[in-house]
Amino acid sequence: MTAPLLYVCARPQRDAAVAEWASFRDGLGVGDDDLVHHDLVRETLPADLERYAGVVVGGSPFNVTDPDKTDEQRRLERDLERLAAAAIEGRTSALFTCFGIGVVTRLLGGSVSLGHPEGTGPTEIALTGAGRDDELFGILDPRFQALTAHKEGAASVPPGATLLAENPACPVQAYRAGRSLWATQFHPEPTTEAFVARMVVYRDAGYFDADAFEQVSAYVRTASVEQPTRLLRAFAARTVTA
C-alpha cells in the first residue's frame, strides 16, 4: 500500500476504540502500519486527509438524535460532516458505518429518527439493483448477514444518495453519495467474537437486555459475517488503485 488508510474513531471508550481499530485492520486485510488510528473524540480531524489512501469511520454510542449533546459531540459531528463533504467531492474515499451514516444522512438533508432501530445481533440485508451494480457492494451476495446494534435510522435514502442495501426493519442499510462516499447502517468490521467483546463494554447502554447477555451473545455467534468482510477488502483494494 503506497499510503496508509485512516481509521476515524468516534468512541469515547478507549478499549472499545482500540478493539474496533483492530477489527477494521483485520477486515481490511492490512497491517498495523497501514491503518492509522485517529481519536476524533479527543482530537480534531486531520487537515492533511490527502496523505491517506482512504478513511473508515467507526461506530459510536452517540446518536444524531441525542437531545442534549456535549460540545465534544457537536464538534465531532461537525468534523465528520467535513470528512463526508470531502469524500462526496472526491477529495478522499470514505466508508462511514453505523453512527456515521446518521451524520451523513443529516448532512445530505435526510431525516434520522428513533423509528428504525435494530437489536444486537445478525440481520439479513438485501442489495438493491443499484447495489448489485456498485463497484464495492456488487461483489456481495444479493442477500447476506451482517451485525447491527443501533437506536436510530432513516426511513428513506437522503437526497442525492443512491440506496445500495435495505431490509424491512431499517430501510436504509447502505448507500453511496457523490464520488467516493459509502455509508452503512450495519457494522462491516467485527467478527462475532469481537462483537461480543464490544457488547461487554456497552452492556448497560440500552442496546440489549443486560440480564440476557448470554442469550444475546449466543445469538450473535450464529452470524455469518464473511460478506461484510468482503466489502471492507473491496474498499481497501479500491483505495490502492484509485
The alpha-helical segments, DSSP class H, found in the chain are 14-28, 71-88, 99-107, 129-133, 192-201, 213-220, 226-241
Which tens digit of pLDDT belongs to each residue from 2-31? 899 999 999 999 999 999 999 999 999 999
Q: What is the pTM of this model?
A: 0.97
Which tens digit of pLDDT belongs to each residue from 193-210? 999 999 999 999 999 999
Distance of CA 48 to the CA centre of its chain: 22
Domain boundaries, the chain: 5-241
DSSP β-bridge partners for residue 39: 9
Q: What is the mean pLDDT of residues 138-146?
A: 98
Which tens digit of pLDDT belongs to each residue from 27-52? 999 999 999 999 999 999 999 999 99
Average pLDDT of every residue of the chain:
97
Question: Residue for cell digits 480531524?
Answer: 45
Q: What is the pLDDT of residue 1?
A: 52
User: Which option is the CATH number for 5-241: 3.40.50.720, 3.90.280.10, 3.40.50.880, 3.30.479.30?
Assistant: 3.40.50.880
